[in-house]
Structure 1
């Protein structure tokens, strides 16, 4: 039973040392990540902008297919002017 307690104490000490090392190494890794961080330039939203920016995509070539013929719309709609 005494051997188990000694082993448990040793394991806890090792885990505590490993935990301290991890806590001390994390700031160094965070500095490296900030140094390696990439920036992307372009459109970005900022605080105070009420309307989003819009990207309009316009065709650079005329369509290759001809327009399809369409039927004329009926200008007379008697069902719309009929009383209810």
Structure 2
């Protein structure tokens, strides 16, 4: 060897391999890209506008209905706790 420890020599070889791979002129597409290209060759997707509108959503309840439900639930809990306190023996 050239006086370098084995681990340092392996690290330099690995670094060289990574640089060599990153500098490659042609990079192979991923498996998903190849799969989609093959699928779209036979059955191309329909054109979509950029940021297509989502499907219509059912209208939500108005905020006052939600507020009334929350306040009613809190009031019912307060009344229930007061009643339980009143019935508890001292």
TM-score range, shorter chain: under 0.3
TM-score normalized by the length of structure 2: 0.27
Write 1 or 2 for the structure with the bigger share of helix.
2
TM-score normalized by the length of structure 1: 0.28
Compare CA radii of gyration and give the structure with the larger one: 1
